[in-house]
Amino acid sequence: MDAVIGSYIDPSSLLCTDTATNYKKFAQIKALKHEPINLSKEGYVKKGIYHLQNVNNYHKRLKGWMDGFQGVATKYLDNYLYWFSFLQQSKKLAEKEQINQMLLNACQNSNSITVNFLREV
């Protein structure tokens, strides 16, 4: 996990996760504050402010969107993820403006993590 996202996390960040042990170890390695949430014991909110609902909701939307494709080849997964991310970020724009933004974004270099990078780790 550190090799993939470790350099993107600010040392002052708070890591809010479920109770999987790999997150605890990662938080210790990176010296991060960690708030594990035991969904079966504590529910979805801990201390009134920590929750995983944003991540779970994003995952639900992504999965629902990808279900419409009836399967996605791993080779093209990063393209689908970029597309979904673009749609999420531009959903309040008019359709013509979305098209303009998509064309502009397609011409720019990306610094995002891709499937190929993840395979190499």
Q: What is the pLDDT along the chain (121 residues), one digit of tens a residue?
A: 888 888 889 999 999 988 888 999 999 999 999 998 887 787 777 777 778 888 888 999 999 999 999 888 888 888 888 889 888 888 888 888 888 888 887 777 555 566 666 666 5
Q: Phi, psi (5° rounding) for residue 111?
A: -105, 10
Q: Specify whether the CB–CB gap between 84 and 65 falls below 8 A.
A: yes
Q: Is residue 20 part of a domain?
A: yes
**Number of domains composing the chain:** 2
Q: Is residue 67 part of a domain?
A: no
Residue 103 domain boundaries: 72-120
Which value, in Å, is the radius of gyration of the alpha carbons in the chain? Answer: 17
Domain identity same for 114 and 79: yes
Give 94's DSSP letter.
-
- Whether residue 61 lies inside any domain: the answer is no
Query: Do residues 77 and 46 both lie within one domain?
Result: no
**43 and 76 both lie in a single domain:** no
Task: Kindly state the tokens that stand for 36.
Answer: 């594990």
Cα 47 to the center of its chain, rounded Å: 24
Whether 1 and 45 share a structural domain: yes
Burial status of residue 44 (CB atoms within 10 A of its CB: 0-12, 13-18, 19 or more) = exposed
